[in-house]
Amino acid sequence: MKLVTFSAGREERVGVVDGERGVVRDVTALLPPATGVLAVIEGWDELGPALRDGADGATAIPLDSVDLLAPIPAPRRNIFCVGKNYRDHAAEFGRSGYDSPSRSEDLPDRPIVFSKATTSVVGPGARIDPHPDVTRELDYEGELCVIIGRGGRGVSRDQAYDHVWGYTIVNDVTARDMQRDHKQWLLGKSLDTHCPMGPYAVTADEIVDVAGLRVRTTVNGEPRQDAPVKDLIFDIPELIATISAGISLLPGDLIATGTPAGVGIGFDPPKFLAAGDVIEVTITGLGTLSNHVG
């Protein structure tokens, strides 16, 4: 099932996407009042069957006529993110001079986990604010994002996928100069509008082989990133086990798993984003997330 959050005037509504017919089914009436996608995920054992049984009878709206928001427009807490989690990207980042504390192409021996503020989240089609007053070096990072369903602490690798509700796409937009100059990643990763997300929240049962998914990013139609999820240094079970070892995961938590090689700082000279640029991140089975700088 592909869930979306879309706007109808000032109201946010929940929809189920019927890709074959190119429509979104407005299932808001099937849910308790004021229930968004986050609450749907939290109450999935009860609400999931109701959506599966009732979606076909819900009002159908052409998908290309609705204003899609991020599937989870306001996460309950910061997005967990993973740095340097593809081998080739770890090397290009090390060569770039933007790493801290020094240049190194060595692979990390443990997951590098940081976070992005919830206020950085925007939906598909939304404008990415270049923030010229604080950064001159804006970059993109297409990523597979895991959506946690069942919470818990101390989740083992073997149990990890039992805690995954589904997946979406994020673009981990980054102010590289801030990332370098502050010698930490929170500020450079968390500027407003710098976490485009969507277009869909896709349930795990629709993804037969997560490792076989492919992450592709283009800028103005030019291919930049292209790698399979199987190339992750630390796979999804390892990330869930690492984060949950001492932090309780909650339903709806988001884990951005890392970005492949081909980001702007990987080029010589770097290819930073500029006003008017269109960035599209496509992942097998999850659709395409498109945003523009402006």
CATH code at position 260: 3.90.850.10
In a domain, 73, yes or no: no
Indicate whether 8 and 146 sit together in one domain: no
Domain boundary among 45, 68, 91: 68
SS3 assignment, position 115: strand
Q: Are residues 137 and 273 in the same domain?
A: yes
Of the residues 68, 102, 122, the one at which a domain ends = 68
Predicted local distance difference test score (pLDDT) of residue 101: 54
The rounded distance, in Å, linking the Cα atoms of 63 and 66 is 6
Beta bridge partners, 222, equal 219
What's the DSSP call for residue 207? -
Quick one: how far is CA 178 from the chain centroid? 21
Query: Using the 8-state DSSP alphabet, how is residue 157 labeled?
Result: T
pTM of the model: 0.96
Chain centroid, CA 201 distance in Å: 10
pLDDT of residue 104: 64
Domain count of the fold of the chain: 2
- pLDDT less than 70: residues of the chain: 100-104
Measure the CA–CA gap between 12 and 219, rounded to whole angstroms.
Answer: 30
185 belongs to a structural domain: yes
